[in-house]
């Protein structure tokens, strides 16, 4: 993690907070966010302002990210701390059709990551690296999703056996 001398990521964090609160999904207004936080609209505006020196309240972030469906800030935090990007766990109906779709999607993602890694290794360049990085992150999310699905399937089977 960065030391106090190396806080270059703070500007990026502030920009993502502003994007989350002030712009982004226009369907969710700052007024709606302030009602969710139980605070005044002016306080929410002030907290997201680049001119305000007080830290943005972390307690608001989960609700704001869910309301706006914007997880860029969470992705940056994962990146800064050396963690995997966040993966939203899907809802599944435990039926044969859902399983087939899950397996097909899983195979496609793993095939695509192999292809993009081979392309990158053949001639390493910034464009192919970016493609590989994106497909690798998608594949990681798909793997985490499949683990979640398998866990739900095991629980479902366990409940049926009782």
pLDDT in tens, 49-98: 888 888 889 899 999 999 998 888 998 898 888 887 777 776 666 677 87
pLDDT in tens, 125-135: 999 999 999 99
pLDDT in tens, 97-142: 877 887 888 899 899 999 999 999 999 999 999 999 999 988 888 8
- The yes-or-no verdict on residue 6 having pLDDT over 90 is no
| Residue owning tokens 């005044």 | 40
Split at pLDDT 50, 70, 90, the class of 27 is confident
* 128, 113 contact by CB (below 8 A): no
Instruction: Return the beta strands (E) in the chain as ranges.
Output: none
- The yes-or-no verdict on residue 161 having pLDDT over 50 is no
Provide mean pLDDT across the span 14-38: 86
Split at pLDDT 50, 70, 90, the class of 155 is confident
Q: Tell me the HSE value of 78 on the side-chain side, using a 13 A CA sphere.
A: 11
Residue 2: predicted pLDDT: 45
* pTM, full prediction: 0.63
Domain ranges of the chain: 9-81, 96-161
C-alpha span between 15 and 73 (Å, rounded) = 9
Closest by CA position to 113, among listed 103, 124, 128, 101: 128
């Amino acid at each position: 993690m960065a030391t106090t001398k190396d806080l270059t990521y703070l500007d990026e964090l502030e920009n993502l907070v502003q994007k989350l609160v002030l712009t982004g999904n226009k369907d969710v207004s700052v007024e709606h966010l302030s009602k969710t936080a139980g605070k005044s609209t002016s306080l929410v505006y002030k907290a997201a302002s680049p001119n305000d020196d007080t830290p943005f309240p972390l307690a608001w972030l989960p609700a704001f990210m869910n309301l706006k469906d914007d997880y860029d800030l969470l992705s940056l935090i994962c990146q800064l701390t050396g963690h995997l990007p966040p993966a939203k766990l899907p809802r599944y109906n435990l039926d044969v059709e859902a399983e087939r779709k899950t397996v097909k999607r899983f195979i496609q993602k793993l095939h695509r990551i192999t292809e993009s890694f081979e392309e990158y290794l053949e001639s390493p360049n910034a464009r192919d690296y970016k493609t590989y990085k994106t497909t690798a992150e998608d594949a990681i999310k798909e793997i985490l999703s499949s683990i979640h699905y398998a866990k739900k399937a095991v629980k479902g089977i366990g409940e049926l056996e009782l």
